[in-house]
Amino acid sequence: MSRISIIVEFTPKPGCFDAFNAHIRAHAKATLEEEPGCLAFDVLQPLSEDGTPDLTRIMLVEIYKDMNAVKAHRANPRMPKVAEGSAPLLAGRKLTICAMD
C-alpha cells in the first residue's frame, strides 16, 4: 500500500487567524506524538507575492504510512474536540487526499 498525503487549505474567519493557528499547531503536535502511522504533519503559512504572511490562509500537509493510518487518524478520540474547536474559527476548508508512490 502506498503512502497517503492529506493536503488541507483552511480559511480562518476574520480576526480568528491567531486562535486557529494555535489550535491547529497543537493538533499537529498531538497527532505526531500519538499516531505512529503519521509520518509528517506540517502546518504551512502561505506567503503573499511580496513575501509577507497571507493571514487569510493556513495549510496542512500530512503524510501517513497507508490508508489504514489515515483511518486510525480519523478515528482518534481527540478528533471531535479538534473539529469542535475549529468550527467557530473557520470560514472554509478544502481537503485533498493523495496517493504517494
Task: Using DSSP bridges, classify how beta strands 38-44 and 3-12 pair: parallel, antiparallel or unpaired.
Answer: unpaired
Verdict on whether the full-model pTM lies above 0.75: yes
Per-residue pLDDT at 1: 65
Q: Which domains, ranges and CATH numbers included, belong to the chain?
A: 3-100 (3.30.70.100)
Q: How far apart are CA 58 and CA 31, in angstroms?
A: 17
Contact 53, 47 (CB under 8 A): yes
Distance of CA 16 to the CA centre of its chain: 16
29-75: pLDDT as tens digits: 999 999 999 999 999 999 999 999 999 999 999 999 999 999 999 99
Q: 101 pLDDT band (50/70/90 cuts)?
A: confident
63-75: pLDDT as tens digits: 999 999 999 999 9
